[in-house]
Amino acid sequence: MATTDVNVADATPKSRKLPPEVNIFFVLIGIAVLFEVLGWIFQGQSFLGNFARLKIMILQVSVLGIISVGVTQIIITGGIDLSSGSLVAAVSMVSMSFAQTSEYGLDRVLYPALVDLPVIIPIIVGLVVGACAGFINGWLIAYTKIPPFIATLGMMVAARGFAKWYTQGKPISFPTDSFARIGEGMNPVIIFCIVAVIFHIAMKYTRYGKFTYALGANETAARVSGINVERQKVKIYVIAGTLSALAAIVVCSRGQTAQPGMGLMYELDAIAMAVIGGTSLAGGRGSIIGTAIGMVILGVILSGFTFLRLDAYYQEMMKGAIIVGAVIIDTYRQKKKV
């Protein structure tokens, strides 16, 4: 054919680029080393050498990590979820009310008829509540076309209200032993790992994952390619809601109590992990591995500040700056591509 000798400049092979996760991993190492050095300078001791500290650190963030796995998927579609923190409160309340034991007397339980239930009941009830909330988010976003920011903001306020209304503001405690065991020891970390592996595989090797990236990259093209955009969105928000519920169950089981004020600002930490981990707020880019690294980075920073005896208020201010910084980096990365 006459056209074989066309040489398009763009077809020149490019040097193999490393996946973005590698860069994020180096950031993690850099930060860890920084705290190590600062530790020797200011505290006269090792930061990384303290195994107990690392364990606490990872425990602190793994619940947020579970939420962030769902939030990452939402952000990859170009959406956002502000409701996860409030959902943690709402689901904790409901789930705990089905997990109470009669051991300390029936006057201390919310539903005296529903005590000492098998542990699967509060788990299922909790997950269903989360899934329903996610469904409402997803349905609103997909079918009424309102921005995800608004839909989930509404859910954030409403779910918090629901959590307070559920017991008129009173906490719920006294779970059965089996329920209390869910969040024991290193279980939160194990649960996070299982969730992360499942969704890493789903995002990489299944249709669900491919469609999620497609949605964030170009929604119109996704639709024209035969993807049911609305159904896909609903699925993603249902999954995110369910993961928030799972995090709620772990948290209230570990604390053996549920109260309406739980999960405050969790949504922002979950978003921060995803963004620090390289998920683009513009959609289409990001990964569960990145989010996992983002989670550890956030954990290292928070635990590092505590280790350096930095004021808690400082910590919050720094966290704010880090989130903004991560988004600036992402924006810069996008610009460079043009």
Partner 1 sequence: MLDGSAGSARDRFTGEFILEVDNVRKEFPGVVALDDVQLRIRPGSVHALMGENGAGKSTLMKIIAGIYSPDSGEVRFAGEKLSIKTPIDALNSGIAMIHQELNLMNTMNVAENVWIRREPKNAMGLIDHAQMRRQTQELFDELGISLDPTALVDDLTVAQKQMIEISKAVSYNSDVLIMDEPTSAITEKEVAQLFRIIRDLRAKGVGIVYITHKMDELFEIADELTVFRDGQYVGTVPSSDIDRDGVIKMMVGREITDMFPKVDCEIGEVALEVKGLSRGKEFQDVSFELRRGEILGLAGLVGSGRSEVAEAIFGVKPATSGEIIIDGTPATITEPAQAMSHGLAFLTEDRKESGCFLILDCLSNIQMALITREMTNKFGFVEQSRVNELVNDYVEKLRIKTPSLGEIVENLSGGNQQKLLIARWLLTNPKVLILDEPTRGIDVGAKSEIHRLITALAGQGVAILMISSEMPEVLGMSDRIMVMREGRVGGFLDRADADQVSVMQLAAN
181: tokens are: 């065991």
Place of tokens 């990365």: 333
The angle formed by the CA atoms of residues 124, 128 and 134, to the nearest 5 degrees, is 150
Question: What is the distance between the alpha carbons of residues 279 and 20, in angstroms, rounded to a whole number?
Answer: 10
Check binding of 200 to partner 1 (CB under 8 A). Answer: no
Select 44 or 226, whichever has its Cβ closest to partner 1.
226
Within positions 249 to 288, which residues make up the interface with partner 1, using CB under 8 A? Answer: 284-285
Min dist. Cβ of residue 135 to partner 1 (A): 19
Min dist. Cβ of residue 68 to partner 1 (A): 22
Place of tokens 């860890």: 32
Check binding of 213 to partner 1 (CB under 8 A). Answer: yes
Check binding of 221 to partner 1 (CB under 8 A). Answer: yes
Side-chain-side CA neighbours of 93 within 13 Å: the count stands at: 23
Within positions 2 to 61, which residues make up the interface with partner 1, using CB under 8 A? Answer: 2-15
Min dist. Cβ of residue 227 to partner 1 (A): 6
| Radius of gyration (C-alpha) of the chain in whole angstroms | 22
Question: What is the distance between the alpha carbons of residues 276 and 193, in angstroms, rounded to a whole number?
Answer: 19
Buried b (16+ CB within 10 A) or exposed e, 50-61: eeebbeebbbbb
Question: What is the distance between the alpha carbons of residues 71 and 274, in angstroms, rounded to a whole number?
Answer: 7
Select 7 or 168, whichever has its Cβ closest to partner 1.
7
Smallest CA-to-CA distance from 322 within 277, 260, 291 is with 277
Within positions 222 to 251, which residues make up the interface with partner 1, using CB under 8 A? Answer: 222-228
Contacts with partner 1 by CB under 8 A: the residue count is 38
Write the interaction track for partner 1 spanning residues 283-312; mark x where CB under 8 A is met and - where it is not.
Answer: -xx---------------------------
Select 217 or 318, whichever has its Cβ closest to partner 1.
217
Amino acid at 72: T
Please give the full DSSP string across 80-118, using - where no structure is assigned: ----HHHHHHHHHHHHHHTSB-STT-GGGSS-GGG-S--
Point out which residues pair with 175 in neighbouring strands.
100
Select 9 or 52, whichever has its Cβ closest to partner 1.
9
Burial class (CB in 10 A: 0-12, 13-18, 19+), 16: exposed
Query: 104, 149, 205, 314: which one contacts partner 1 (CB under 8 A)?
Result: 205
Query: What is the SS3 assignment for 17?
Result: coil
Select 108 or 200, whichever has its Cβ closest to partner 1.
200
Min dist. Cβ of residue 124 to partner 1 (A): 22
Min dist. Cβ of residue 3 to partner 1 (A): 5
Check binding of 220 to partner 1 (CB under 8 A). Answer: yes
Select 145 or 309, whichever has its Cβ closest to partner 1.
145
Min dist. Cβ of residue 20 to partner 1 (A): 12
Min dist. Cβ of residue 327 to partner 1 (A): 17
Question: What is the distance between the alpha carbons of residues 291 and 61, in angstroms, rounded to a whole number?
Answer: 12
Per-residue DSSP letter, 139: H
Smallest CA-to-CA distance from 75 within 223, 240, 295 is with 240
Select 282 or 321, whichever has its Cβ closest to partner 1.
282
Query: 108, 181, 200, 210: which one contacts partner 1 (CB under 8 A)?
Result: 210
Select 96 or 227, whichever has its Cβ closest to partner 1.
227
Check binding of 206 to partner 1 (CB under 8 A). Answer: yes
Select 142 or 247, whichever has its Cβ closest to partner 1.
142
Applying CB under 8 A, the residues found at the interface with partner 1 are: 1-15, 202, 205-208, 210-211, 213-214, 217-218, 220-228, 284-285, 337
